[in-house]
Amino acid sequence: MKKKVTLTNPSQESRRFSRRIWLLGISLLTLILILALRLAYLQIFRHERYITLAQKNQLAIVPITPSRGLIYDRNGILLAENIPVTSLELIPDKIDDIDLTIQELKKIIAIDDDELEQFNKLLGQRRSFDSIPIKVKLSKEEEAAFYINQYLFPGVTIQAHLIRHYLFGEALSPVLGYVGRINQQELAQVAPSNYSPTDYIGKVGIEKYYEPILHGTAGYEQVEIDASGRAVRTLKRVPAIAGQNLYLTIDSKLQQVAIDTLAENRGAMVAIQPGTGQVLALVSNPSYDSNVFVKGISSKDFKKLRESPDQPLYNRALRGQYPPASTIKPFIALQGLATETVTPEDQIFDPGWFKLPNSTHLYRDWKKTGHGWVDLSDAIIQSCDTYFYNLAYEMGITEINTILAKFGFGSKTGIDMGEELGGVLPSPAWKKRYRGTAWYPGDTLITSIGQGFMVATPLQLAHAVATLAMKGEGHKPYLLLKAKPINAKAVYYQPIPLKSIELPADTWHLVLNAMQEVIENPRGTGHIRFGAKPKYTVAAKTGTAQLFSIKQNERIASQDILPERLRDHSVFIAFAPVEDPKIALAVIAENSTFAPAIARKILDFYLLNKDENNTRTSQYKNS
Amino acid sequence: MKITPVLHNTRIHNPHGFRLSLWEKMHLDLPLLLGLVLLIGLGMLILYSAGGKSLMFLSQQAMRLSLAAGIMIGLAQIPPQSYRTWAPWLYTVGVVLLIAVLVLGVIGKGAQRWLNLGLFRFQPSELLKLALPMLLAWYFSDRPLPPKLTQIALATIFILIPAALVAKQPDLGTAILIAGAGFCVLLLAGISWRLLLGLIATIIAIAPLSWHFLKEYQRQRVLTFLDPERDPLGSGYHIIQSKIAIGSGGLFGKGWLQGTQSHLNFLPEHATDFIFAVCGEEFGLMGGIVLLSIYAFIIIRGLQIAIRAQDTFSRLLAGSLALSFFLYIFINIGMVSGLLPVVGVPLPLVSYGGTSMVTLMASFGILMSIQTHRRLVAS
C-alpha cells in the first residue's frame, strides 16, 4: 500500500456525502413503497378474507332459552316451576388442558366424582365450543371462591340458568315425570334451532308428552362481542316465547293423600272423575324424586334406583300389569244378564268348588266351605267364584271378552302420557299366538275370576270402574285440563266420550246395587275391610290377585306363612257416591290386604274433607 | 469591516444581508414544521379513535406534544457547534446512566428502563438515540473521510456499548433503533461498500448465535413472526388481529371511529405500538398512503437538510437523524403489517406515549438548528 497523505477534501467529501444521501433516499423511498405494497396486498387482495374474519370476530348469535311452561294442578296449585341456579361451566375450546383446569378448580370448589362423570359424559356429546356444566347449583360461597380466582381460569365461567323444580317431589313424579339434559338422539328429533344445546327436555311423563307446548320457542340475540367475548351491543333481538302453562286434571292434595296412604305398601292408585275421564290422582308407590334427574343423576344413584327391588322407577299405575282378580266379576255379570245366560233370580249351589263336565279337576272357590245357594247379586257381594265359573262355562270366552273389551280391558286407554301398557285380555287367538297352545275350557273359568293370563293396569281398572259408574257412558282418561299460552286465553281440553255401552237400566241397577252391597252388606267382601259405614254411598268390588300357585287340593291357611313378595295382591275398585259418581278409583296394594282401607281413606278425603283439604294435607305430610 | 466569527454564533451568519423570513429568524424550518403539523393532526385523529374517543387521553397526548414541541423549539435555537462540543459528554453521561439503570434493575429484580427522577421518569436509552449519532458525527467530523478501518472498528464499539446495554434491559426495539442511528452515521461517513457488505454478512452469520442470548419472549416473537398461526391466541394473537384490522379496512376504510377491531378490543395495544392498524382499519389503503407520504415528506426534508449542511458534523448528524426516523416507521409499520417480527417500536408521533415522542421532537429541533444556523453565501 502506498503511503499517502490524506488531506481533508471538503468538496470531494461533500460530493460523496450527497451521493450517499441520494442513494439512501432512493432506498428509503423504495422501502416505503414496499410498505405501501404490503398494505395494498392486505387491503385489496386479501380484503375479502379479512373482512370476513373481522365480522366473525365481532358477531355472535346468542340463543335465548324460552322459559318452560309451568305446571299446575286442577286447583291452580303449582307443581313444577323454574328456579334460578348458577352453575360452573367450561368451554373446552378455550381451555388448553381440561384435566389440569379441573384439578385446579377442585382446589377451590368441591367437585365430586359423580359431577365429574356427568361432565365427561356431556364432554363427549357436546361441541367443543359449547359451555359444559361441571357443577350445578353453586352455593354463594362457591360462587365467591370462583370469582376471586376467575382470572386463573380462562374458559371457565359461572352461568345463571333456570332449572326445573318439582314442588311435590316423589308424590307427583308418576304424573309429571321429569326433564333432563337433552341428548344427541333427542336433539335429532326436535328442531335444532329451537333447542340450544344446554336446554332441558322432557324425558318422561307429562314433561315428555307435552314437551312441544311446554318448551316454547327459542329466541336469539345477535350481539356484537368484544375480544373477551362480552356482549357489547345488541344488534337484533328476537325474544323467546315462553312455553304454555299447563293445568292438569290432577288434584295434588288427593295425590298427596293417596301416596301418603299407600305409605309402606307397594302399589298404585288411579282416581278418575267418572263424568269426564279427568284423572284426579295417579299414584305409583314407591316413587322417586323428579328433582334428582334435573341436576343430572349419577350412574351410581341411577343404578340404585333401577335395581331397587321396590322398583321406584316403574310406573305401576300406567305400566303395572296385575291380575284384576275378582274386580272383573261385575263386568262379567253385566254380560251374563245382557246375553240372558242367567237371570237375576237364577241360583246355583256352591259346594266350594266347580267341576267341568267329564273332568275331575276341581276349580275351587276362595271359600273352602262354599257359599251355598247364591244368585247373581250374592255372587258379586260375596265374590263367589263358583257362580262365575258356572256363568263363564255357560257364556263362553267370547262373550266375556266382548264385555271386558267394551270396558277397555286389553287395550290402552289412550291417556295423554306416552308410557302406558294395554294389559292382556286373553282369547283363544291370543293364546295360540303368544303361548302356542290351544284354549282350554279351564282357561275360560280362570279368566272369569280375573286370573290366569288376564292382566290389567290400575289405570285400565280405574277407567273401567268409571265407565261402570256412569252406566256405560265412558270417557277417555286424560290429564291435561287446560293449557295457557303466555299471551292468550287458556285452551280447555274437552272430555272425549267413548262409545257408550248399551244395556237395560235394570241390568246396570242390579250390578251397581250389588257392588254397593259389597260394602254395606255384612256378608260383603268389602264390608269389614272398608271399615265403618261411610257418610256417602259407595259401590265397590274387592279382588285378591294370587301370585303363588298352590297345588290342586291345598289351600293355604294363612298368607302370613309365605314370603312377603309371594303374598297375594289386594285389588279394589270403587266409585262414590253411587247416585252421582264424583270419583272412581282402582287401588292395588302389592303383597298386602289393605287396598280397601287405602281406598277408604282416599274416598273420605275426597268426598268429606274437601273444605279441610289444607289441614288434612299437612297432617298427612307430617305422618 | 470587522470579521464576524463564523462559529459559535447563535444567529444565522448572514454577511450578504439575505432577507430572512420570520421562521428562519426563529430558527424553525417551515417545511419540516408543516410536515410535523400534518402528521400530528392526522395522528391525533387516529388516536382519538384508538383511545376509545377519550378526550382525556387526547389531552394528555396533546400536553406531551406541547412539551416536546417546546423542547424542539428550544433545541433549534442552539447552534450545531454546541452539540458538537457536548457530544462526548452526552454520550458518556448516557452510558453511565444506562449502567446505573441496569444495576438498579438487578437490585430491583426485574426489567428496568427508567430512572425515577422524582418529577418524571427518564429513560437513558432515549438520550442515547441522540447522543450516539452526535458522538459518531463528532468523532468523524475532524477526521478525513472515508474513515479508516480502525476508525470504523472504534465507531462500532461506540455503537455496541449502548446497544448491548439497552438490549440487556431488555428493550430490543430501542436497541435496534440506537444501533441503527449509529450505523447510519457510519454509512454516511463513507464506509466502503465492500466493508458494508462484510458487516452485513457478519451480522447475518451472528444472527443464529444471538438466538442463544434472546429472552424467551423474544424468541417467541421471532417464532411467531415466522408463523403467526402457531399460537393464534397467544403470541400470534397480536399480529393476526392486526392483519385482520388492516385487511378489513380495504381501500377506503370503515370510516373514522368505525373500526371494530380496535373498538371491541380485538386489537391489542391499539393506542400504542399497533396504532397503525387502527389507521388501516378506519382509513383504509388511502389513509395508509397519506400517512406514509407525510412520513416520506418529513424524511426527504431531513435528508435535504443533511445535504445542505455545511460541515461534516452537521451533515452526518442530520442524515443520521432523518434515517433513524425512517427506521421507526419502517420497523413499526413492517411489524404491524406482518412483514417484520414484533418489536416494541412506536409509530412516531402517532402512538400514545411520552418518551419516544420527546426524543423524536428533539431530533427535529436539532435538524432545524442545523438548517437555520447555516452560513448563507451567494451561490
Least confident of A341-350, A377-386, B80-89, B106-115: B106-115
Give the pLDDT of residue A617. Answer: 41
Catalytic site residue A326? Answer: yes
Neighboring chain A residues of B245 at a CB cutoff of 8 Å? 54
Closest CA to A514 of A538, A535, A496: A538
pLDDT in tens, A333-376: 999 999 999 999 999 999 988 988 888 888 888 888 888 899 99
Helices B355-372 and B30-50: crossing angle in degrees, nearest 10, is 170
- ipTM confidence score: 0.90
Facing residue for A21 by CB, picked from B292, B319, B339: B319
Burial class (CB in 10 A: 0-12, 13-18, 19+), A229: exposed
Residue A557 or residue B249, greater confidence? B249
Q: Which of A604, A598, A607 is nearest to A579 (CA)?
A: A607
Confidence (pLDDT) at A188: 80
pLDDT in tens, A415-429: 999 889 999 999 999
Q: What percent of chain A shows pLDDT beyond 70?
A: 93
How far are the Cα atoms of A50, A225, A398, B257 from residue B260, in angstroms, in the given order?
12, 10, 81, 9
User: What φ, ψ does residue A371 adopt, rounded to 5°?
Assistant: -100, -5
8-state DSSP, A267: E
A566 touches chain B (CB under 8 A): no
pLDDT digits (tens, 9 = 90+) for A460-505: 999 999 999 999 999 999 999 999 998 889 889 999 999 999 999 9
Q: Given an 8 Å threshold on Cβ–Cβ distance, is A32 in contact with B243?
A: no
Is residue A162's pLDDT more than 60? yes
How far apart are the C-alpha atoms of A207 and A324, rounded to whole Å? 29
In a mutational test of the B interface, the residue from A8, A16, A21 whose CB has the highest number of chain B CBs within 10 Å is: A21
- For helices A505-520 and A458-469, the axis angle rounded to 10 degrees is 120
More confident residue, A166 or B238: A166
Catalytic-role residue among A173, A252, A287, A326: A326
pLDDT tens-digit map of A513-528: 999 999 999 999 988 8
Residue B110 has pLDDT above 60, yes or no: no
pLDDT at B243 over 50: yes
- Put simply, whether A26 touches B (Cβ < 8 Å) is no
List the grid coordinates of B268. 391489542
Q: Which residues contact A266 (CB under 8 A, 6 or more apart)?
A: A285, A286, A310, A316, A589, A590, A591, A592
Burial class (CB in 10 A: 0-12, 13-18, 19+), A368: exposed
- Give chain A positions within 8 Å (CB) of B330: 31-32, 35
Instruction: Enumerate helices (H) and strands (E) in chain B, giving the number of each.
Output: 14, 2
| Residue A172 in grid coordinates | 307427583
DSSP track, B251-293? TT-S-TT--HHHHTT-STTTTTTTHHHHHHHHHHHHHHHHHHH
Residue of B nearest to A9 (CA): B144
Please compute the mean of the pLDDT values over residues A322-336 and round it to a whole number. 93
Indicate yes or no: CB of A24 within 8 angstroms of CB of B187.
Answer: yes
The confidence score (pLDDT) of residue B75 equals: 95
Nearest by CB to B337, which of A24, A38, A224? Answer: A38
| Ranges A614-618, B337-341, B369-373: which has the least confidence | A614-618
What are the structural domains, with CATH classification, of chain A? 62-248 (3.90.1310.10), 252-622 (3.40.710.10)
Whether pLDDT at B96 is above 90: yes
Contacts of A47 in chain B (CB under 8 A): 247-248, 250-251
Q: Which of A176, A168, A166 minimizes the C-alpha distance to A260?
A: A168
What does the pLDDT read at residue B231? 60
A31 in reach of chain B (CB within 8 A): yes
- Residue predicted with more confidence, A551 or B55: B55
Q: Which residues of B touch A233 (CB under 8 A)?
A: none
The pLDDT assigned to A557 comes to 55
CA-CA-CA-CA torsion sign (B317, B318, B323, B329):
positive
Instruction: Note the pLDDT of residue A549.
Output: 58
Percent of chain A with pLDDT over 90: 48
**Rounded distance between C-alpha atoms, residue A390 and residue A445, angstroms:** 8
Judged by CB atoms within 8 Å, which residues 192-231 of A form the interface with B? 224-228
Tell me: pLDDT of A619 over 50.
no
What's the rounded mean pLDDT across residues A244-268? 92
Reduced to 3 DSSP states, what percent helix, strand and coil does chain A have, rounded to the nearest 5? Answer: 40, 20, 35
The residue in chain B having the minimum alpha-carbon distance to the alpha carbon of residue A41 is: B247
pLDDT tens profile A399-416: 999 999 999 999 999 999
Q: Which three cell numbers stand for residue A96?
A: 388448553
pLDDT tens digits, residue range B295-327? 999 999 999 999 999 889 999 999 999 999 999
**Mean of the per-residue pLDDT values for chain B?**
85
| Out of A32, A46, A232, closest to residue B292 by CB | A32
- Mean pLDDT across B52-75: 90
The end-to-end CA distance of chain A, in Å, is: 120
Compare B234 and B196 and report the one with higher pLDDT: B196
Of A173, A172, A208, residue with least CA distance to A190: A208
Q: Check CB contact of A51 with chain B, cutoff 8 Å.
A: yes
A101-137 residue pLDDT tens: 888 888 888 888 888 888 888 887 776 667 888 888 8
pLDDT at A620 over 50: no
Cell 311446554, residue located: A214
For residues A31-37, average pLDDT: 95
State residue B232's pLDDT score.
62
Residue numbers in A near B312 (CB within 8 A): 13, 17
Mutate to test the interface with B, among A37, A42, A47, A48 (most CBs of B within 10 A): A42
The pairing of beta strand A245-248 with beta strand A480-484: antiparallel
Q: By the CB < 8 Å criterion, does A44 face chain B?
A: yes
Q: Which residue of A has its CA nearest to B318?
A: A21
Given an 8 Å threshold on Cβ–Cβ distance, is A46 in contact with B260?
Answer: no
User: Which of the given ranges, A352-361, B31-40, B220-229, B354-363, has the highest pLDDT on average?
Assistant: B31-40
For the segment A86-99, the average pLDDT, to the nearest whole number, is 83
Quick one: cell of A20?
450517499
